[in-house]
Chain A
Amino acid sequence: MAQTSQFCTFYLDKLLFGVALKGVQEVMRSLDMTKVPLAPAVVSGLINLRGQIVTAVDLRRRLELEPRPEGMLAMNVVVRSEDGAVSLLVDEIGDVVEVEETTFEPPPETLRGSVRTVILGVHKLNERLMHVLDIEKACQMTEVAEARPQCDSGHRAGSPVN
């Protein structure tokens, strides 16, 4: 009997992502947010969730995707993290999927450093790929300097790899 796990899925810029269902507290429609000036850019603001103040993280920004188009309201995926609940802002909520271990693949090397830490890997679903997100890393708001290995940067700059 293969090991299965459940994921709560959602869409960001037409890409499918999933987080472990266990870590999800709830899913909400768009809520009023209070901006936090001077906070890191990924922090969209603070939300009042039934008396609990929850920090909202713009996942598009966290994953270095295009900013959400004007007029598109974000949905809230409220997850439990080490330092309290965090709301991840996504485009659309997907279904709960159950996947087996066998369909899992680690993330490709070409993924940028900052993004690679957030994505644990992908599950190959029938029609598409589901990117698995690490909840803790997704909730991380402060910049963590990524030390890029030498060959990577050399490669990117287009200079010949020795």
Chain B
Amino acid sequence: MSDGDAEIVKEFLVESYENLDRLDRELVGLEKNPDDRDALSSVFRTIHTIKGTCGFLGFNKLEAVAHVGENLLSRLRDRKLILNPEITTALLSMVDAVRQMLSQIETAGQEGERDDSLLIATLTRLQQVPATAAKSEPVPGAESTSEAVASPSSIGEILMRRTGVTPAEILLAAEKQKEGDPRHMGEILVEQGAVRSADLVDALHIQQSSRLQATASDSTIRVDVGLLDKLMNLVGELVLARNQVLQFANRVKDTNFAAASQRLNLITTELQAGVMKTRMQPIGNIWGQFPRTVRDVALGCGKEVGVEMEGKDTELDKTIIEAIKDPLTHLVRNSVDHGIELPEDRVKAGKDRSGRLILRAFHEGGQVNIEISDDGAGLNGERIRKKAVERGVITAEQATRMPEREIFNLIFLPGFSTAEKVTNVSGRGVGMDVVKTNVERIGGTVDVQSTRGQGTTVRVKIPLTLAIIPALVVTCGGDRYAIPQVSLLELVRLEADEVGKGIELVHGAPVYRLRGRLLPLVYLDRELNPVGIKGQGVGHPSTHAGSEGQLFDFAQARAKHQQWLGRLREVLDGNAAMTVQQGGSHTECALGKWLYSIGLKKYGTFPDIHSVEKTHREFHGLVGEILGRKNQGNQAQAEHAFSQLGPLSTKILALLQDLEKKVLDCGSVNIVVLQADGRQFGLVVDEINDTEEIVVKPLRKQLKMVKTFAGSSIMGDGKVALILDVLGLAQRASVVTETRDRALTEKATESAAVAEKQTFLLFAGPGDSRMAIPLSTLARLEEFPVTQVEMSGSQWVTQYRGQILPLVRLNVVLEERRVKQRALQAPPTADSGPIQVLVLNHEGRSFGLVVDRILDIVEDRADVRSPATRASVLYSVVIGDRVTELLDIPAILRSADMSATHPGMLTRSAEVAN
């Protein structure tokens, strides 16, 4: 074959592979919707094109197979046949055969020795099955040879091809149009009776789609992937160079240079974005073949499986897509073969007959996540454990101790399979370990989670290694680190004086209250230097406020110190007295006390404090001298010494001021709020620099162990900086747990929260106070007209459900004793409104609690409590954001003399409680 021919063949092959992939999808789709005429037409056209080109290129075997397929499809299209699974399978086999032949052509340059007679026979045989549906008239000579061409045709031509309309009739219609008939050709023909409106609609559809196809194909172009790779590399280098130019531009004050570098900046950014896009492909491209794979495997195993896809448009770099195609295919086959159960078993287990296979793809934290979930039987942890021990992979002892998650991950070991049968599809144990290796080779991770009886999810995470990402540069311990902006939520700066209040300790773990929510804090310097702290751990609770009280009040210290001068003046003037001990000790005055107990320790690294200490000692030494001289009566010398005191004092004040400033500066805290795995946390760093676009260079394999770093990059000044892996850092700092079954954890916290909440009945007590009882103690809420209340001795009672219910008046019971006595004896006043009664059960007896008003029923955790302020109240508690008294029911009953020995009590609470 000549070079020119070789080119043509190459193009033919590339196009045909694409077409075959599309055929797979369409055939599977057709199986579900046999009436999709467009799909059927499209399939027909594709096969027809292949057949045509094969003939042209001299691939006779291919042509023969394609020809038979085309005939079959033609009958389907003409409604002489209806698509059924057998036909679909045969057509898919034809697609496979064509693919194999194309592959043979690709490698050997020719079709090779093949015998497709069986396939041809099957395809021929299937053509003979009679159809049952109505059909349009067989069209004479209407081989739609030209339909395969993508050029848009006129309605008349299309109609001619598809229906029995004759050229004469079309001419007639055209005439009419020329004469001024404003209608479309199609309408005229329908009116003429030459064409049925249904056919017209079909024809219009075809015209539409062929028009669309034309525009689509005209605007795309094929490019060699190697060329794109080269472009990508060059752009990466350009980005680095641009970063350096920008750095220079900042330093050099030249407006022209600045303008030019800005332009360079803009252009580079756009260029980079554009080139990256060229290489990005939606993952849907490889997912497209999965419906077929799933169908085939499912048929083979006798199972029913439906495929759902989420995030088809998630884009990945082409090389990554190539690399994960096979691993994903294997995982999909595995799910169908081993995960999903047989329809009968599923029904027995209460599930739908048809299993669900869900493919999910999304970007998160700078990585692409691909999940393959099924709602099948889940992994059998026990079996895996046993198998692992059998194989000697782990000891029996380890097996018992291993958490389930780790057991599940054993399936990725080579040769591991707990499948009972080895099928053609899987079970040989060569799959999962290959999946893991392939994924890890491109720098990704794979892990599996499963719930017995419910399903399994395999999660593949791939970093976007060839990425130029925007990142925030921070400084910690003198080194620079980059944080991918995608994980960044916000930046918070706490000034030194706010730090004490802002950062709190919960069980020893520092947190920051960010708009009402508690944000766990991670100190980067501590994470990166677990042994020893470089310099002073900036901002860590143990080094500032917190336990040691507020930040030192420098202003007060200065004020106090200034008093010394005044006091000494008084002494010298004879208006006051002071002993040498009192004034001369540098440890006894306020400042001294602070210095030697806390100050030096806390601010020890600041050189200023040492100066303060030294000068302060000198100061007091001098004070002692002054006092000594004075007390000895030596006024002149005392005054002389006093004059030297002034400068010393000023020096101390100045030093204190400097120290204060430095402490404030240093004491301020920078928090970078990050998100990982759906959880937020704050990263405390020394300094926040700026955002830059950086080229991510992956770390060496052996350094990848350090989960805290996602890669490295070269900064604008040529130095290397490490890129933080936010998730890794969070896990290391235990802010995020490793098992990421999100739904499970959400549910757990939900139920935990709910469990702590109690339901209360709120009502108005005496003096309109807010009171409550746990709803669980309430049997019923009732309202009785006053007339129903009777007196039994001094006891209010009412007839309730065939029994006598004693009524306890809360107002009365809670009153002073003497008032109570009188009130107790009073019968109900006739004009009062209906009474609200809470029917309660206590120790097997029922009674009704009369209250003023029933307020509400509220669910609340009710954990903020304080002791009761009056009798018959258990405690005060915050319910529904208001302070509420929780009623002490036994105490109330005792107060109301409702002892167990009181006759006339209802004993069968069960009945009342209905």
Contact = CB atoms under 8 A, between A and B. Distances in A.
A36 B719 contact: no
A37 B721 contact: no
B703 A36 contact: yes
A48 interface: yes
Interface string A44-57: 01111001010100
B701 A36 contact: no
Contacts of A32: 718-719
A141 to B, nearest CB: 4
A35 interface: yes
Contact of B703 (A33, A34, A47, A141): A141
B479 interface: yes
A43 interface: yes
A38 interface: yes
Interface residues of A, number: 23
A46 B722 contact: yes
Interface stretch (B155-163, B398-406, B707-715): B707-715
B702 interface: yes
B479 A48 contact: no
Contacts of B705: 142
Contact of A39 (B237, B529, B530, B703): B703
B719 A38 contact: no
A55 B720 contact: no
B714 A36 contact: no
B702 A34 contact: no
B700 A84 contact: yes
B739 to A, nearest CB: 23
A106 B240 CA distance: 47
Interface in A1-49: 32-40, 43, 45-48
Contacts of A142: 702, 705
B719 A48 contact: yes
Which one of B530, B702, B718 has the highest number of Cβ atoms from chain A below 10 Å of its Cβ? Answer: B702
Contacts of B701: 83
Given A36-B706, A38-B528, A83-B701, A51 B240 contact: yes
B697 interface: yes
A140 interface: yes
Nearest to A37: B528
B720 A47 contact: yes
B443 to A, nearest CB: 11
Contact of A34 (B240, B697, B708, B719): B719
Which one of A43, A45, A48, A140 has the highest number of Cβ atoms from chain B below 10 Å of its Cβ? Answer: A48
B529 A55 contact: no
Q: Which applies to chain B's interface (DSSP): helix, strand, loop or mixed?
A: mixed
A140 B722 CA distance: 20
Contact of B712 (A37, A46, A86, A140): A46
Given A48-B714, A53-B697, A36 B709 contact: yes
B405 to A, nearest CB: 23
A39 B714 CA distance: 19
B714 A53 contact: yes
A161 to B, nearest CB: 31
A14 to B, nearest CB: 29
A34 B711 CA distance: 13
B529 A37 contact: yes
A38 B706 contact: yes
B721 A34 contact: yes
B718 A38 contact: no
B712 A53 contact: yes
Nearest to A33: B720
A34 B722 contact: yes
Nearest to B237: A51
Contacts of B708: 37-38
A37 B708 CA distance: 9
Given A35-B479, A36-B709, A38-B528, A48 B718 contact: yes
A57 to B, nearest CB: 10
A53 B713 CA distance: 8
A63 to B, nearest CB: 17
A83 B700 contact: yes
A48 B694 CA distance: 14
A45 B700 CA distance: 12
Interface string A113-156: 00000000000000000000000000011100000000000000
Given A34-B721, A48-B720, A53-B720, A141 B714 contact: no
Contacts of A84: 700
Contacts of A37: 528-529, 708, 722
Contacts of B479: 34-35
B147 to A, nearest CB: 54
Interface string B216-257: 000000000000000000000100100000000000000000
Contacts of A53: 697, 712-714, 720
Contacts of A140: 702
B192 to A, nearest CB: 74
A19 B709 CA distance: 31
27 contacts: A32-B718, A33-B720, A34-B720, A34-B722, A35-B479, A36-B709, A36-B722, A37-B708, A37-B722, A38-B530, A39-B703, A39-B706, A46-B712, A46-B720, A47-B720, A48-B718, A48-B719, A48-B720, A53-B697, A53-B712, A53-B714, A55-B699, A83-B702, A84-B700, A86-B700, A141-B702, A141-B703
Given A32-B719, A37-B528, A84-B700, 6 more contacts: A34-B712, A34-B719, A35-B479, A46-B722, A141-B702, A141-B703
Interface of B: 237, 240, 479, 528-530, 697, 699-703, 705-706, 708-709, 712-714, 718-722
